[in-house]
Chains A and B, each alone.
Chain A
């Protein structure tokens, strides 16, 4: 892992990359971030003059799918990000150092780049039993997280685990797994939800921070607006079928073969904010809906606890039975309807008997 004081440009020139290729890369990155042509020059300028941002990448309770996604980024290639753009000083998963040597880097970075490094967290800390459900370097992960967060510039919460809690925080959440923003409250936190987040979204975000030295604009829920301001539904290529009223009714029917809208199959595209339908996956090859399965909203809060992946309404458990809003509502309206009919019948009988008595 190289020193953080060097610039990106210095590093890649040393690796034998031409100035021409460097500018190509800047234009491409500017385009993928949705910025104008002038931004390419700004990016180039920043990468030539600014020292690389030190990044500490930590793993809490997680499955490493975020890292798996990250290393498959195509634009930019993750090797460029890890080896050139940022100074990835610590990542237990892909670093060469191990044991005490590795842990020493944490202390070193904390002391040397106080308030300057970015803390990227994959997974979340479990809080029950004093955090004993996730031990990292002989200590509960939550302690390590708090310590490293203290002197960081900002925190990137990778994935749905760090952003919302994800599967380990699903009911009944025995380990007390808690999203980052509920544990660290005094630092800017960027949520990059998704299980996992899209590779290009991850690397583009890192590019943005290293380029401009600041955080991107975030929405109400702390997600970068550039990737999470629209729903899957808004950019879905099957949207014309939705507007026309052409739906898949059961799996493998004629409509499914024609690639109609999966709305009735419980696709959660209309309630899910992510860039899948625009950026897509595996270098832009496909995304779930394109493969014929509905979105199940992996980047949304509590997506494990909302009932079936094939139902667009949240399962309501308060009534002892599992039902959705329409079933409960229809039952209630039906019961009231019956009550009204019965009441009307009694009223009629009473009136008839009264009339006869008179």
Chain B
């Protein structure tokens, strides 16, 4: 975790300015490196495809008219789901790699410092801020503590869960001798009846839908209300503090 006091923030801005040769006057810190940004958008697209196709796979589509041999719509929907699943998985693996190779902020979504008292005080402040009790938001270079909490549990863990359960379900189609089954077959020791696995995979979808709602709303809201760039930061990589 980085120190979040105003002095430290100014220092972070200054240090970053020295490194990148930018003016410290603008109050800009380089937070999201290019690979993180690229991953973010590819990941977002994959989740969009996975969510939509997943919903259709789960509930079925309106019956196609005409000859059976002319249609392969459900097959194509499933193919898109599997394809996007691979994209998501490879992206996630890359993102774990980048947590080690990238800047300190790149690690933030992979842990929560639950053991630090100060972290909890800061979470409490964020809760007060979102409950309209605290008048001023604290500023953070990367995710705020509450965002980090949501990121870790609703995104990182949820996506990992979806990857594992997803590949286990995929292994049902590829068969007992496939590498998917070798790697993920253990999931069926937890849920011997794969119907339960489908049920959990559906619940995972709704967890991620809920996350996306909160994620997009708070990103836009904080961009406007707390006088720092959020939305443009995931495009340019830079966080600007506007006062």
Contact = CB atoms under 8 A, between A and B. Distances in A.
Contact of B210 (A301, A314, A333): A333
B68 A221 contact: no
Contacts of A297: 193, 195
A337 B198 contact: no
A105 interface: no
A306 B221 contact: no
A291 to B, nearest CB: 20
Given A220-B188, A229-B176, A244-B73, A300 B199 contact: no
A316 B202 contact: no
Contacts of B74: 242-245
A336 interface: yes
Interface in A299-358: 300-303, 306, 312-314, 316, 324-326, 328-330, 332-333, 336-337, 340, 343-344, 346-347, 350-351
A118 B173 CA distance: 34
B203 A234 contact: no
A175 interface: no
B195 A313 contact: yes
Interface residues of A, number: 52
A306 B62 CA distance: 26
B196 A306 contact: yes
Contacts of A231: 172
A336 B213 contact: yes
Nearest to B201: A325
Of the four ranges (under 10, 10 to 19, 20 to 34, 35 or more), the interface on chain B belongs to 35 or more
A158 interface: no
If over half of B's interface residues share one DSSP class (helix, strand or loop), that class is named, otherwise mixed; here it is: helix
A247 B207 CA distance: 28
A230 interface: yes
B206 A314 contact: no
Interface stretch (A16-24, A71-79, A260-268): A260-268
A225 interface: yes
Nearest to B61: A245
Contact of A326 (B58, B71, B176): B58
A290 interface: no
B210 to A, nearest CB: 5
B214 A336 contact: yes
B221 to A, nearest CB: 6
B203 to A, nearest CB: 5
A240 B192 CA distance: 27
B208 to A, nearest CB: 10
A1 to B, nearest CB: 36
22 contacts: A220-B188, A244-B73, A244-B74, A245-B61, A245-B63, A245-B73, A245-B74, A247-B61, A249-B62, A268-B195, A271-B195, A303-B193, A312-B58, A313-B58, A313-B198, A314-B195, A324-B199, A325-B199, A329-B202, A332-B210, A340-B214, A347-B225
